[in-house]
Chains A and B, each alone.
Chain A
Amino acid sequence: MSMSPSVPLQEMIRAIRSARTQCEERGVIQRECAAIRAQFRQADNGGRSHNLAKLLYVHMLGYPAHFGQMECVRMIASSRYSEKRVGYLGAMMLLDEKQDASLLITNSIKNDLSHSNQYVQSLALCTLACMGSAEMCRDLAPEIDRLLRASNSYIKKKAALCAVHIVRKVHELGELFAPAARSLLSEKNHGVLHGAVVLITELCERSSESLERFRKTVPDLVQIMKGLVISGYSPEHDVAGISDPFLQVRLLRLLRILGRNNETASDAMNDLLAQVATNTDSTKTVGNAVLYETVLTVLDIKSESGLRVLAVNILGRFLLNNDRNIRYIAMTSLQKIVGTDHNAVQRHRGTIVDCLKDQDASVKRRALDLSLALVSASNIRSMMKELLLFLSSCPPELRSQAANGIFTAAERYAPSKRWHIDTILHVLITAGGDVRDETVPNLIQLITNTSELHCYTVHKLYRALLSDISQQSLVQVACWCIGEYGDLLLRGDCQEVEPMQVCEDDVLDALETVLQSHMSSTATRGFALTATMKLSTRITDNVDRIRSIVSIYGSCIDLELQQRAVEYNALFKKYDHMRYAKKDSTHFCCCGVILFCSVNSFAFNVILGFMLLLTITFVSAPTAPTVTVYEKDGVTLTIVCEKQSDSAMTVTLTGFNSSDCDVSSFTLQAAVPKSVQLHMKAPSGDSLPAGGAAKVTQVVLLNNPNKVRLQNRQMLFIYLVCRGSTVQETVQVDSFPGL
């Protein structure tokens, strides 16, 4: 059977490249591999190195080439240099220490390490350094040590790196190489110096004794470095006017390791570092590479403050460099030190903020991180301007981080409540879709607590709602606010905003638009519906309109909205009944207690609505009975009403949980009709643990000075969170003692 002759490497490559499909390529390669295999099986022929070279090419393309492993072993043992060379290369590409074949080359390596031809020695060194097993390393370490001391520069530099590999494989052998490494520092050849510095670095990183010992070499290293920095032009090592920048970088890195946490060593290198920092030409990348390494070293050792400022200033200059690579590494470095050298970095805040506008997305991201880290009480206003500007045009992947960072900064450093609220509103308008879920309840909490700004806030939110209803979080907060403080909105006068006449129809129009818009999510519609309902206690003329809105949603497809609407409808009907029946009693209503829970725990991020309808009618009674107004699933709410005077009443609300599910973030809010004054004292707590372990009580003071006959549209709304599911109900209490 005749074998197809194998073709030269170039031919094979051409054949592979001209294959039009993957299948065709595979065919070519299979044919070639078969031919190569056949060739390997034959006795020694002249073309072995070509065949192996072809095999390596095939291997690079990703095809299996393990059948070439034994051929590598054979070729390494050959006496011809060209075959040895390809054999060793093949070994490095096809073998690793896990393969059996690698054991077979140990002997060859051992012999070749003492070969008369330095290039053969170098092949052995290179291969040992690439794939030497721990066994091989132990075996050959003394030989490597010998080569470190007595050979030419070419071999010494390779032996040094081979020693690095040995030390990585067998840590204890570091001791063996330390003396030789030390003496190599006095060599003149840069390749050898480089190797020595790398070896010493490896030894110092592995053992603290070595580190101690090599600290004594700091003066020598400083001397070498000085020689490089101030030396004249040397064609051998010059790269763009800098003497051997690669060696300089390695020296600086070693100095860093030696100077870390050590005052003496750091002092010894202080002057040198200052010299390098000031004299290195920064117009070319190589110079900047050296400067970069210098900065890293200065910032990591115990350097004096003047030097540190110098280093940070270099980074600041880097930020202004046209080369985006340099800007990138400046940003990365500044980010690492913004915690420790905060004041020094603050000086470059302006440049960093400018980098928010950089074209490169990774520079932008780092600029954002740094800017947020640099925000402080003194610069909050100007920084926030820049951050908000950034938010409006930043890439989508950064919006969430920016928005949340802005919130955190605003919370920490807000100069005034109004500024805080304005900032949050601005973010919601710009990036409302990218904020965390807790933002809505948190903002509601903030607004509630800032009673002096209720009027301002509701006006602003109303206007925001008029212009854009697409940002869900903003719309939700706006609806809630309108429901809560709608009366302030309708009153019309607010000093801080432009006067605007808002009538009840306008407000209801706005809420209805939200309800009907396809952009509104279910949660948002829920907010809008509840707000509409709440307004029925605050407005006088349009109650029928509210009723009709609510009744429409009684047949809404969405189950939650439907349920809510039906319950609200029921409220209306029951009010009517009560109104007609209780005409002559003195009614005193305390209603509209809204329990608003914002849960920040991991699993629950949901606001449950339990709606409780409570109409409390209060008549003078000698004793104050406890009335259970709500009881379901183990959670109970009771009230005790005590009349204090003709027009004042105290209501104590007590929450109790006898179920086996914890209720958390239990918060109460009260809204009362215009004519009634309400004062809610602080609750005793906000959690109702399971099994009735603790209660929550809250005292509410009510005052009805005008003794107005109250219309029966007051309601109690209770929201609480349990087990992460949304439940909404309306419960009505309609029997009271003394009534």
Chain B
Amino acid sequence: MIKFVLMVNRRGQTRLSRYYTPVELSRRAALEADVVRCCLSRRKEQCSFVEYKDFKLVYRQYAALFIVVGITDKENELSIFELIQNFVEVLDKYFSRVVSSCAIMFSLDRVHFILDEIVQNGLVVETNRSRILTPLNAIDKMSDS
């Protein structure tokens, strides 16, 4: 299962954080800093999977944005790798432009809602891009009218 989803910029500042296992608030900052340090220090020849403590990290870089997903041992790493790509494509589609770290910051709640349509309590709930965005588009239309 997925333990957490993080989006950080190159300087290590958190742009989005969502935890699916209980992590105390006081420990979150340290965990995020450590995880981010791990991923940012990887070189290009190294693979996208990092063994971290007793679980794994899957990370992908999109320009200045790093997306890091913490997973338990049983999860298929390649599948999660693809899931991250799926997530980014959904965001691109919703925001009608290539998503940057700034865009996420200014529409943080929307990004959370999108994420909720993809992952629920640490498990994947929907991967079809149109189906993920249907609720958001419906709500947006409702609030516009």
Residue of A165, A191, A237, A359 contacting most chain B CB atoms (<10 Å):
A191
Nearest B residue (CB) for A291 = B78
Q: Does B16 contact A (CB under 8 A)?
A: yes
Q: What chain A residues lie within 8 Å of B81 (beta carbons)? A: 285, 289, 325
Q: Does B138 contact A (CB under 8 A)?
A: yes
Q: Digitize B65-78: 1 where CB-to-A-CB distance is under 8 Å, 0 elsewhere.
A: 00000000000111
Contact A328 B47 (CB under 8 A): yes
Q: Does A56 contact B (CB under 8 A)?
A: yes
B138, chain A: closest CB distance, angstroms: 7
Q: Digitize B96-116: 1 where CB-to-A-CB distance is under 8 Å, 0 elsewhere.
A: 000000000110110011001
Contact A194 B124 (CB under 8 A): yes
With A60-B14, A194-B125 known as contacts, the answer to whether A360 contacts B45 (CB < 8 A) is yes
Nearest B residue (CB) for A191 = B126
Q: Does A413 contact B (CB under 8 A)?
A: no
- Distance in angstroms between the alpha carbons of A119 and B78 in the assembled complex: 31
- Distance in angstroms between the alpha carbons of A195 and B82 in the assembled complex: 19
Contact B47 A360 (CB under 8 A): yes
- Distance in angstroms between the alpha carbons of A129 and B119 in the assembled complex: 11
Q: Does B48 contact A (CB under 8 A)?
A: yes
Q: Report which of B47, B108, B127 forms a contact with A244, defined as CB distance below 8 A.
A: B127
Q: Report which of B105, B125, B131, B138 forms a contact with A13, defined as CB distance below 8 A.
A: B105
- Distance in angstroms between the alpha carbons of A324 and B42 in the assembled complex: 13
Q: Does A363 contact B (CB under 8 A)?
A: yes
Q: What chain B residues lie within 8 Å of A164 (beta carbons)? A: 121, 123
Contact B125 A191 (CB under 8 A): yes
B137, chain A: closest CB distance, angstroms: 11
Q: Report which of A93, A158, A236, A325 forms a contact with B120, defined as CB distance below 8 A.
A: A158
Q: Digitize B32-69: 1 where CB-to-A-CB distance is under 8 Å, 0 elsewhere.
A: 00000000000001111101000000000000000000
B45, chain A: closest CB distance, angstroms: 4
Contact A62 B77 (CB under 8 A): no
Q: Does B145 contact A (CB under 8 A)?
A: no
Q: Does A81 contact B (CB under 8 A)?
A: yes
Nearest A residue (CB) for B132 = A191
Q: What chain B residues lie within 8 Å of A236 (beta carbons)? A: 128, 130
Contact A329 B78 (CB under 8 A): yes
Contact A53 B28 (CB under 8 A): no
Contact B108 A53 (CB under 8 A): yes
Q: Does A595 contact B (CB under 8 A)?
A: no
Contact A249 B113 (CB under 8 A): no
Contact A289 B106 (CB under 8 A): no
With A89-B113, A195-B125 known as contacts, the answer to whether A325 contacts B45 (CB < 8 A) is no
- Distance in angstroms between the alpha carbons of A381 and B143 in the assembled complex: 74
Residue of B79, B83, B116 contacting most chain A CB atoms (<10 Å):
B79
- Distance in angstroms between the alpha carbons of A363 and B43 in the assembled complex: 14
Contact B109 A53 (CB under 8 A): yes
Contact A327 B47 (CB under 8 A): yes
Q: What chain B residues lie within 8 Å of A130 (beta carbons)? A: 20, 120-121
Q: What chain A residues lie within 8 Å of B113 (beta carbons)? A: 85, 89
Q: Report which of B18, B51, B124 forms a contact with A362, defined as CB distance below 8 A.
A: B51
Contact B47 A363 (CB under 8 A): yes
Q: What chain A residues lie within 8 Å of B77 (beta carbons)? A: 325, 329
Contact A245 B126 (CB under 8 A): no
A101, chain B: closest CB distance, angstroms: 15
Within A322-360, the residues touching B (CB, 8 Å) are 324-329, 359-360
Q: Report which of A89, A122, A325 forms a contact with B135, defined as CB distance below 8 A.
A: A122
With A82-B143, A292-B76, A328-B47 known as contacts, the answer to whether A13 contacts B82 (CB < 8 A) is no
- Distance in angstroms between the alpha carbons of A288 and B127 in the assembled complex: 18
- Distance in angstroms between the alpha carbons of A245 and B82 in the assembled complex: 9
Contact B131 A292 (CB under 8 A): no
Q: Does A308 contact B (CB under 8 A)?
A: no
- Distance in angstroms between the alpha carbons of A332 and B124 in the assembled complex: 24
- Distance in angstroms between the alpha carbons of A454 and B121 in the assembled complex: 69
Within A111-168, the residues touching B (CB, 8 Å) are 119, 122, 126, 129-130, 154, 157-158, 161-162, 164-165
A294, chain B: closest CB distance, angstroms: 11
Contact B109 A324 (CB under 8 A): no
Contact B142 A57 (CB under 8 A): no
Q: Report which of A89, A129, A288, A292 forms a contact with B112, defined as CB distance below 8 A.
A: A89
Q: What chain A residues lie within 8 Å of B135 (beta carbons)? A: 119, 122, 154
- Distance in angstroms between the alpha carbons of A157 and B76 in the assembled complex: 21
Contact A56 B124 (CB under 8 A): no
Q: Considering only CB atoms and an 8 Å cut-off, how many residues of chain A contact the other chain?
A: 61
B103, chain A: closest CB distance, angstroms: 12
Contact B123 A198 (CB under 8 A): yes
Contact A289 B22 (CB under 8 A): no
Nearest B residue (CB) for A82 = B143
Nearest A residue (CB) for B110 = A53
- Distance in angstroms between the alpha carbons of A325 and B78 in the assembled complex: 8
Q: Does A504 contact B (CB under 8 A)?
A: no
- Distance in angstroms between the alpha carbons of A361 and B135 in the assembled complex: 44
B75, chain A: closest CB distance, angstroms: 9
Q: Does A86 contact B (CB under 8 A)?
A: yes
Q: What chain A residues lie within 8 Å of B49 (beta carbons)? A: 325, 328-329
With A56-B109, A164-B121, A198-B123 known as contacts, the answer to whether A326 contacts B78 (CB < 8 A) is yes
B80, chain A: closest CB distance, angstroms: 9
- Distance in angstroms between the alpha carbons of A82 and B144 in the assembled complex: 12
With A119-B139, A289-B76 known as contacts, the answer to whether A126 contacts B109 (CB < 8 A) is no
Contact A119 B138 (CB under 8 A): yes
With A285-B82, A292-B78, A362-B47 known as contacts, the answer to whether A60 contacts B108 (CB < 8 A) is yes
B142, chain A: closest CB distance, angstroms: 7
- Distance in angstroms between the alpha carbons of A249 and B108 in the assembled complex: 30
A157, chain B: closest CB distance, angstroms: 6
Q: Does A293 contact B (CB under 8 A)?
A: yes
- Distance in angstroms between the alpha carbons of A329 and B131 in the assembled complex: 31
Q: What chain A residues lie within 8 Å of B47 (beta carbons)? A: 324-325, 327-328, 360, 362-363
Residue of A60, A126, A130, A158 contacting most chain B CB atoms (<10 Å):
A60
- Distance in angstroms between the alpha carbons of A10 and B120 in the assembled complex: 28
A394, chain B: closest CB distance, angstroms: 15
Contact B45 A324 (CB under 8 A): yes
Q: What chain A residues lie within 8 Å of B120 (beta carbons)? A: 126, 129-130, 158, 161-162
Q: Does A627 contact B (CB under 8 A)?
A: no
Q: Does A407 contact B (CB under 8 A)?
A: no
Contact B79 A325 (CB under 8 A): no
Q: What chain B residues lie within 8 Å of A161 (beta carbons)? A: 120-121, 123, 125
Contact A246 B127 (CB under 8 A): yes
Contact B51 A289 (CB under 8 A): no
Contact A237 B76 (CB under 8 A): no
Contact A157 B126 (CB under 8 A): yes
With A56-B108, A57-B108, A285-B81 known as contacts, the answer to whether A362 contacts B127 (CB < 8 A) is no
- Distance in angstroms between the alpha carbons of A392 and B139 in the assembled complex: 63
- Distance in angstroms between the alpha carbons of A246 and B118 in the assembled complex: 12
Contact A361 B46 (CB under 8 A): yes
Nearest B residue (CB) for A250 = B124
Q: Does A286 contact B (CB under 8 A)?
A: yes
- Distance in angstroms between the alpha carbons of A286 and B89 in the assembled complex: 15
Residue of A244, A249, A326 contacting most chain B CB atoms (<10 Å):
A249
Not counting A82-B139, A239-B127, A246-B127, a sample of 7 additional A-B residue pairs whose C-beta atoms are within 8 angstroms of each other reads: A62-B25, A81-B143, A129-B121, A237-B128, A245-B79, A285-B78, A326-B78
Residues of B within 8 A of A (CB): 14, 16-18, 20, 22, 25, 28-29, 45-49, 51, 76-79, 81-83, 86, 105-106, 108-109, 112-113, 116, 120-121, 123-128, 130-131, 135, 138-139, 142-143
Q: Would you list 5 pairs from A and B whose C-beta atoms are within 8 A, ordered by A residue?
A: A122-B135, A164-B123, A194-B124, A246-B127, A329-B78
Residues of A within 8 A of B (CB): 9-10, 13, 53, 56-57, 60-62, 64, 81-82, 85-86, 89, 93, 96, 119, 122, 126, 129-130, 154, 157-158, 161-162, 164-165, 190-191, 194-195, 198, 236-237, 239, 244-247, 249, 253, 285-286, 288-289, 292-293, 296, 324-329, 359-363
The 4 closest A-B pairs by CB, nearest first: A289-B78, A359-B45, A129-B121, A328-B47
